[in-house]
Structure 1
């Protein structure tokens, strides 16, 4: 949950992530705010346009049409990866959707994808106030290709806003995950896109444009995690949050799982409860384990792999 930033901060975040941004007209004051609120915002929603041609797509998304006035999104992500900003504020992109999906996005507590929506545009809750919306130029027929440069731009847009709000990749959903009468985006899966976003967020934030005023300090020693103590905590910590921390190394592992997009930042509390078990099980599945081998209890191989990727060491 977050208050929308200023338009200047919004566009700066996109450019800092390495995106090419085109500002269309006075996009920062083009919105539907007279029809209802925008914010608090909870995530990013990805759409396909069912249109062809960038100029035509941008025009439609900015102006809309009689039955659905524009702007129809905050930005259009074209085939060439350029982001065209057409509105800022409330836009006609999400419509009605499933309240269970919204709660899952807010909590960031689902595994592969949000719960399948049970309601659609006509009977759902207002999504236009709660999400950033990006329309992606594509016919939406499952055949029109998605160039890699366009997929990379979707990844960067989502990562930029996740960084801005300190969200994980589970704050990013497709329109079909919001409303049961929508199919977009077709041609790639949102699970694969969230994996891309997680990998991007795992890298340090883009470097500032100005050099630091002080010389960088040498890095300190890497934190160490004792596997036997970690396993004992995983098996003995009670399910309830906020109980006494039995082993501080749990927090090191939880922070790594947060960077992987598998655990909400608010749950990295040093307590190996049910959320951490579920997050580590998802990491084990990402490592190739299945069934009972992905039970959320750390093993040496999976923990070493996480340690190597996330900058800590493992002791016996």
Structure 2
């Protein structure tokens, strides 16, 4: 049982554990504190999101959705191992759970099977959502699992807790299954091992970002106005198409390496979303709109 860390100490603990942290907007002051207490904190809870695409996942976890306002957690761990901080304080992630489980976490013991929903978990746990479809088939990349281990270790280390202060949503709330497909015994063993040593001075390797050449992308867009025929040979087209799919602007069916009329229409919708209109929303990429798309989807722009 502990007083929640300050936002600055929370961030510092994650960074000292070698994590790649992305600060999203006003995360330090984005919370649900007006709806109930935050703290004392007793542990770290891990979830899966049932979403695909880092940018979309982070947006949902930050903003929430109809009936469940955000933030839906404190941090989002995407498949590339980055930790995106979206809120701090009370967050809508844990819901009502079993008081017997809470007592086990406080005692740093293996939790019993949860069979009640009588205790406010949003008050008592740090929450991290992990980008995963939750179908038992979507993979858990090594970089993401390592980030989960380090997140848990960072907060346990900061509070003087053991690995048993971490739990899954399925351990807490009856009917929940997340994080499905994650080898939890392996995670806890790795956290325990990590807590036995000093924080690693070695950071997680930064994910390699694809590079999209703006001039080659524009040439592809202007030279291939139809969605039939041979795919454009420039690989950057697929990078941009994948980002448009994640934004919900392009059907995955058309993410095939063409920059045809369907992709032009999708990119024009992206330009309009940024506030452009008329000739500035013609579906042919400009530097500013492409950089905004790259920032959200992890690719770099070159000329």
TM-score (structure 1 length as normaliser): 0.63
Counterpart residue number, 1:142: 136
CA distance in 2, matches of 1:124, 1:191: 27
196, 200, 213: which one aligns with 2:194: 200
Counterpart residue number, 2:125: 131
Aligned 1:31-180 pairs, distance under 5 A:
31-110=31-110, 114-119=111-116, 123-180=117-174
CA distance in 1, matches of 2:142, 2:148: 10
Contact kept? 1:77, 1:150, Cα under 8 Å: yes
TM-score (structure 2 length as normaliser): 0.65
Contact kept? 1:124, 1:179, Cα under 8 Å: no
CA distance in 2, matches of 1:189, 1:206: 23
Map Cα deviations across residues 157-203 of structure 1 (whole Å, 9 max, x no partner).
00000000000000000000001110000112322211110011111
Quote the offset at 1:206 in angstroms.
4.2
Quote the offset at 1:204 in angstroms.
2.2
| Unaligned segments of structure 1, at least 5 residues | 208-316
Quote the offset at 1:5 in angstroms.
1.3
> SS where residue 47 of structure 1 aligns?
strand
CA distance in 1, matches of 2:198, 2:147: 18
CA distance in 1, matches of 2:13, 2:91: 20
Over 4 Å off, 4+ runs: none
Aligned length in residues: 202
Contact kept? 2:16, 2:199, Cα under 8 Å: no
> SS where residue 100 of structure 1 aligns?
helix
